[in-house]
Amino acid sequence: MIHMKLTLRARHLELSFWPLIVVGLAHLFYETIHMPMGKINLPGAGVFPLALIIPMVLMAIYRVTWLLTHKDEDTESIVLGDKNIFLALAGLVGIALLLDLLGFVITMGMFLFVTFKVFTESSWLKSALRAALTVIGLYVFFEYLIGVTLPMGPLIAL
């Protein structure tokens, strides 16, 4: 497997995370106040989300304040972003885009081929064979044994 690591301080990651949460909550707040609030004896759709957004914002502000005022206490490092992780995520995106277009066999076959090759560092031929066998086995298992209908894409003509 290929390893390439990104290291950063845990508090830096959190300090970028919480403000994003607050921005998101601000947007949700804007959406919520446009929802019907109803009456006290018939609370509307906006009451519950509003009751949740407020404590969430308070917790976010508290945490950011703590992180900014306790720089020396939080020194842990976090390792992020291995190349294999990016490949797995890119694979998922590729599957989401291509599954309906190219079908299960072709899409998953390509995904398995690339990931087997990169993750196990085996030869192209071995990876291709293993990917082909695996995807055919999975197709038979899901389609015929479990009864799940899988998209076939251009192979539907077969």
Partner 1 sequence: MDTILSLANGFSVALEPWNIFYCVVGVLWGTIVGVLPGLGPLAGLALLLPLTFKLDPNSAIIMLAGIFYGAMYGGSTTSILVRIPGEAASVITCIDGHEMAKKGRAGPALVVSALGSWFGGTVSVLVLMLFAPLLSELMLTVGPPATFSLMVVALILMGLVGSSSTLKTFTMIVAGLLLGTVGLDAMSGVARFTYGSLHVMDGMSFVAMALGLFGISEILLNLEKVADLRPIRPTFKSLTPTLKDLKDSAPAVGRGTVIGCLFGIVPGISHVISTFVSYALEKKLSKFPEEFGKGRIEGVAGPETANNATTGTSLIPLLVLGIPSIPATAILLSALMIHGIEPGPQLINDHPEVFWGLIASMYIGNLILVILNLPLVGLFVNLLRIPYGYLAPLVIVISVVGVYTVNASAFEIWLMAIFGILGYLLRKMKFDVAPLLLAVILGDRIELAFRRSLTISDGDFSIFIQSASSAVFLCVLVIIILLQLTAWLLGYRKKNFANEDPN
**Cβ of residue 83: shortest distance to partner 1, in angstroms?**
9
Distance in angstroms (rounded) separating the CA atoms of residues 71 and 61: 16
Quickly list DSSP for 52-113. Answer: HHHHHHHHHHHHHHHHHH-TTT---EEEE--HHHHHHHHHHHHHHHHHHHHHHHHHHHHHHH
**Cβ of residue 7: shortest distance to partner 1, in angstroms?**
11
**Cβ of residue 110: shortest distance to partner 1, in angstroms?**
11
**Cβ of residue 55: shortest distance to partner 1, in angstroms?**
6
**Side-chain half-sphere exposure of 84, counting CA atoms within 13 A:** 10
Are residues 54 and 46 in contact, defined by beta-carbon separation less than 8 angstroms? no
Sites of contact with partner 1 (CB under 8 A): 1, 3, 5, 10, 13-14, 17, 28, 31, 35-36, 38-45, 47-49, 52-53, 55-56, 59-60, 62-63, 78-80, 82, 84-85, 88-89, 91-93, 95-97, 99-100, 104, 108, 111-112, 115-116, 119-121, 130, 134-135, 138, 142, 146-151
